Amino acid sequence: MSSMHELKPSINNVLDLLAQQFIVISGGKTREGYSIISFPDSGNFVDLPEEGYEKLISYITSVPSLQEADLGFVIVIDRRNDKWSSVRCVLLRLAEFFPGLIHIVYVIRPNGFLQKAISEVSNKFFKEEFKFKVVICNVVEELHEYVDNTELTIDLSGTLPYFHQHWIQQRMALENFSNETNEVSLMLNEFTERLANDTIDLPDTKEQCADLLCCHAVEYGRLKKCFAEAVKKGETLLIDFKQDTDTYHGTIPSTVTNVAALERLLVQMEETEKVFDDFWEQFSGRLKQCHSLRAFEENFNIVQSSLNENLKILSEMTDVGDSVERVEVLLEDLITFQTSSRASEWCAKGVMLLGSEPAEKCISAEQSLAELEEFMSSAHHLKVESPREFYSLFEDTITPETKPIVTQVLQRLDDVTTMCDKRLASLKRYINKPRPILSVNPEPAIPINLANMTKISNGVDECDRAVQNEENNATKTKHVLTELLFTERQYTTELGSILRGYKDQMEFPDMKNLIPVSLKGKSEVLFGNLESIHSFHNQFFLPALESSSSIESVAVCFTDNREKLLQLYTYYCVNLTRSEELRETVGEDNPFFKACQEKLGHRLPLGAYLLLPMQRITKYQLLLKELLHNEKNQNCITKLQKALDCMLLVLNNVNDNMHQIGITGFYGDWNDLGGLLLQGSFSLWVENKKDLLKELRLKPMRRQIFLYQQGLLLCKKVSKDNKPMYHYKKYLRMSHIGLTETVKGDLCKFEVWLEGRQEVYTIQASNLQQKQQWVSEIKRVLLEQLAELKGEKIKQYISTFGKHVNLRQTHSLDNQSENGSNRNRRPLSHHETTDDDSSDYSLTDDESLDGTIKQKIADSYISLADYNALRPTDATLKRGDKVDLLKAGSSSWWYVKVHGSKTEGWVPAAHLEISGRKSSHSSQSVCSHGSTSTE
């Protein structure tokens, strides 16, 4: 029996044999899906030795995938220009050795023999006891009856493209990559075995743990780099293979087989990398735990040693006084200790009293003074009115052992007394300060109200209060930062606990029998991207917060990670609905969930813990608001406000996307809509110029409107199973709508209309703030489109005309270009609707039959709306400005001069109206093509 190396030799071992084309596998298949192996009519097969044949046929049969090889093969032997002896030689070798299943062998018989000889030889073949079926074909056309000619190469009168040398080159490149992946896999295996051995005997000190972890981390990084380089090579090779297919303008089956083999290798590498990363995470986690354990042991030994020393000191303190003099010394030491302790307590109480904020307790200056005077009077009873008096108590009894303690207490006593004296003086100054009196001249018949004649301030001294406020703000800020870090650590720990206690348990064999059938293989639905969220917070966000040394750096952490937080939490919250449905299906009380809950010691079910990410992303903005409220530094305020805006944006986007998942009935491509910007509920009126009576509605419709980067989606809110759902009604593309910011009679209304106001959608917001937010966002999108369109048309104009020509010539050219472009414009079929009250729009009376709007040219015009210059060559206009037209450029841009000034420049033609003509609307409008209209 041949060895594995002999059955599957390297291509380098059979390269010479492959070049001679003894045997070819072109990638063709029979109607049953069997791979075809052909023996070309080269006349040199008899020169192939037995050992060479075994190597070659072993390599050829290893080219297809395992699934294809298991199906078996079909052999085609072409011997039209050879002898029957050659046919017999091939059949005997196939019978003796073939590493696979042969379904049938097709033989294209040799030409030029007598019919009798053919008969004799054929009978001999059929008498041989072959394990496979043999079919003799007189001509190649008979072969086409069994195998499609599209699966046969040109030498067999087929149409299958096959390039032998190109195939050999691809196989060599594929095998080189396979060898490289095997080397990387061997290095990974050696590294993991070494790590497994290291975990048997853990280090004895935390320094050894840190050194070992650092050493292995470097090796891990090196292997990851090698792995990434190998994957990059494979991906480059895959691109080259696919480009080769494109070069020959069609699919080459042999190349497709190589592409499939390469993709299998890349998938195997991806799985290997994932297993390797999981192993490293477990190993490094165990070493980190060991490091923490050794650090705890060292701290424990230190504390234990200190306690032992104290116990030794206490055990030696057996002296209770063996004489009257000794007892008196011990009593004096006790009195010294007790007095010092009372003085320390008095100082601590004073510090707390001084640090309290009168505004927080809602007390007056007189009450603060009374409390402070009462506190100072208590010093008389404790005999700590002054440091000198306090020191006199111990002057006769102080010893070298008690002197350091007394000195420390004296210093603290002096500090507290000084601060209390300053506060007393400040409060007395405020109380004795003259009260300002405001004289009021009473009107006749109105009694004088004495309460309005004086205005008394209730604050403490301004300087003193400013210091107190600053100290208290700093304390509050410190508390908020402490809460932020503590809750972030707790949040990260709880996420890891959920993943280990639930998700990882789904892979353990002893737990799989408890998993419900409807839950198996659905961990990604149940947990969403919780693992990615945990990884981000554990590896990036939490370390960044812990390393932040100031308020500004904390704010920057949120600002820099806005996009990542938005991406992670939007996906998680959108998937949460699917997760809830899955948990409802399997039930929160199923045995698997209960077993995991008991192991973790959780009092609440899994559903409660899966809400943690939503609660956390909401908590961030609350903490940032507290920091912003307590901060006085302008630089910090700016950065905190920016961070708060980022978190509010994340919350709004998450909320909007939660609404988006309830949309039903929309069958367009969501990717074409762009990003979701806003969503909200509005009252809506629709007015259609084509059929005004039908479209005019006195009663508004209630619509949920979704604003995307590329369009508006109008939906109708319905309820299903107590959950909000939104049934799709209409889609308006942003590139074909205009905006009217204000509607006469209602400040909360605005209009969105199609070209020529053929369809007008009057939208009423619930409040002015919502209206302003939507108008601002829609206008921003439209102006961005204007800038893009303007840039494209200016480039087109420069390339077409090179410079401005006179007014009359330009006007005629513009009309020609506009007419031509509108004739080729595609109909606006994207305004799909399911509303019964909608219909196609028609052209207005001011429009020509081919869809263009006729533009009248005059000398004097009036600006319909404000226009701010976007370039140095533009002119800024105010509404109502009179201008003279100097030139009419292409792309609806005119060069004008403002009356009464020297201002000249380019402005959009849609902003101008012939002088003396009345506009039908007074509100400002912005269209998607950048024109401002009064329609």
Cross-strand partners of 933: 925
> CA 491 to CA 533: how far, in whole Å?
11
Q: Give the list of residues 6+ apart from residue 760 with CB closer than 8 angstroms, or none.
A: 686, 687, 688, 689, 751, 752, 753, 754
pLDDT of residue 46: 77
Q: What angle do CA 563, 569, 574 make, to 5 degrees?
A: 125
- Residue 255: the pLDDT is 78
Same domain? 482 vs 615: yes
**CA 446 centroid distance within chain:** 68
For the segment 823-839, the average pLDDT, to the nearest whole number, is 38
Cα–Cα distances (Å) from 393 to 333, 342, 398, 413, 500, in that order, read 12, 13, 9, 14, 64
Supply angle C-alpha 293, 294, 299, rounded to 5.
95
Q: Do 81 and 20 have their domain in common?
A: yes
C-alpha of 731 from chain center: 27
Asked if pLDDT for residue 899 goes beyond 90, the answer is no
Judgement on whether residues 539 and 572 belong to the same structural domain of the protein: yes
* Helices then strands, each counted (H, E), the chain: 29, 20
Tell me how far apart the alpha carbons of residues 884 and 912 are, in angstroms, rounded to a whole number. Answer: 10
Task: Select, from the ranges 124-133, 446-455, 802-811, the one with the highest average predicted confidence (pLDDT).
Answer: 124-133
CA distance 774 to 705: 10
Q: From edge to edge, which strands make up the β-sheet containing 925-927? A: 663-664, 723-733, 711-720, 701-708, 676-688, 759-764, 749-754, 737-740, 925-927, 932-933
* CA-wise closest residue to 332 among 418, 255, 239, 395: 395
Angle between helix axes 387-394 and 403-432 (nearest 10 degrees) is 160
413 and 479 fall within a common domain: no
Scanning 317-386, the segments in alpha helix (DSSP H) are: 324-355, 358-361, 365-382
| Domain contains 389 | yes
- Examine residue 499 and state whether it is found in any structural domain, yes or no: yes
Q: What is the mean pLDDT of residues 907-914?
A: 77
Question: Do both 205 and 119 map to the same domain?
Answer: no
User: How many whole angstroms separate alpha carbon 30 and alpha carbon 73?
Assistant: 9
Contact 107, 140 (CB under 8 A): no
CA–CA gap between residue 406 and residue 390 (Å, rounded):
9
- Residue 832 maps to a domain: no
Question: Band of the pLDDT at 789, cuts 50, 70, 90?
Answer: low
Domain match, 128 and 104 both: yes
DSSP state of 100: S
Return the structure tokens found at 174.
């594929």
CA 592/CA 517 separation, integer angstroms: 11
Provide the pLDDT for residue 705. 93
| pLDDT of 405 strictly over 80 | no
Rounded Cα gap, residues 354 and 782, in angstroms: 59
User: Do the domain assignments include residue 821?
Assistant: no
Beta carbons of 734 and 928 less than 8 angstroms apart = yes
* 506: three-class secondary structure by DSSP: helix
* pLDDT tens digits along 639-652: 899 989 898 888 88
Q: What is the band of 762 on the pLDDT scale with cuts at 50, 70, 90? A: very high
pLDDT score of 514: 85
> Is-above-0.85 flag for pTM?
no
DSSP-based three-state secondary structure for 843: coil
Taking the C-alpha atoms of residue 252 and residue 483, their distance in angstroms, rounded to an integer, is 63
Amino acid 290 reads C
- Last residue of some domain: 140, 160, 180? 160
Sign of the torsion angle spanned by Cα atoms 339, 341, 343, 346: negative
DSSP state for residue 601 in the 8-state scheme:
T
Task: Report the DSSP beta bridge partners of residue 707.
Answer: 678, 712
Residues 6 or more apart from 781 whose CB is under 8 A from it? 677, 707, 709, 734
Same domain for 483 and 405, yes or no, is no
| Any domain includes 722 | no
β partners of residue 29: 35
Q: Are 239 and 208 in contact (CB under 8 A)?
A: no
> What's phi and psi for 731, nearest 5 deg?
-125, 125
Residue 696 lies in a domain: no
- Sequence-distant (≥ 6) Cβ neighbours of residue 432 within 8 angstroms: none
**Lowest mean per-residue pLDDT among 365-374, 401-410, 440-449:** 440-449
Query: What CATH number corresponds to the domain at position 133?
Result: 3.40.525.10
Residues 550 and 479 in one domain: yes
Q: How many domains does the chain have?
A: 4
Give a yes or no: residue 356 inside a domain.
no
Coil/strand/helix, residue 460: coil
Find the CATH number of the domain harbouring 218: 1.20.58
C-alpha dist (Å) from residue 581 to 244, 526, 531: 47, 9, 20
Query: In whole angstroms, how large is the CA radius of gyration of the chain?
Result: 44
CB neighbours of residue 409 within 10 Å = 24
Any domain includes 459: no
pLDDT at 754: 85
Same domain assignment for residues 139 and 214 = no
Residue where a domain terminates, one of 122, 138, 160 = 160
Cα(574)–Cα(555) distance, rounded to whole angstroms? Answer: 27
Alpha carbon distance 132, 102 (integer Å): 6
Residues 128, 179 share a domain: no
pLDDT of 144-164, one tens digit each?
Answer: 888 888 888 888 888 888 888
pLDDT band at 775 (very low <50, low <70, confident <90, very high): very high
pLDDT tens, position by position, 50-107: 888 888 888 888 888 888 888 899 999 888 887 777 888 888 888 889 888 888 899 8
Domain boundaries, position 198: 171-305
CA dihedral 390, 396, 400, 404 (to 10 degrees): 0
Segment 109-148, tens digit of pLDDT = 887 654 345 545 554 555 456 778 888 888 888 888 888 8
Structure-derived torsion over alpha carbons of residues 617, 623, 629, 631, reported in degrees to the nearest 10? -110
Asked if 500 and 603 sit in the same domain, the reply is: yes
Residues 6+ apart with CB under 8 A from 733: 710, 711, 828, 830, 831
Q: Decide which of 658, 692, 723 is a domain's last residue.
A: 658
Confidence of residue 935 (pLDDT cuts 50, 70, 90): very low
Structure tokens at 930: 């950048």
| 81 & 155 share domain | yes
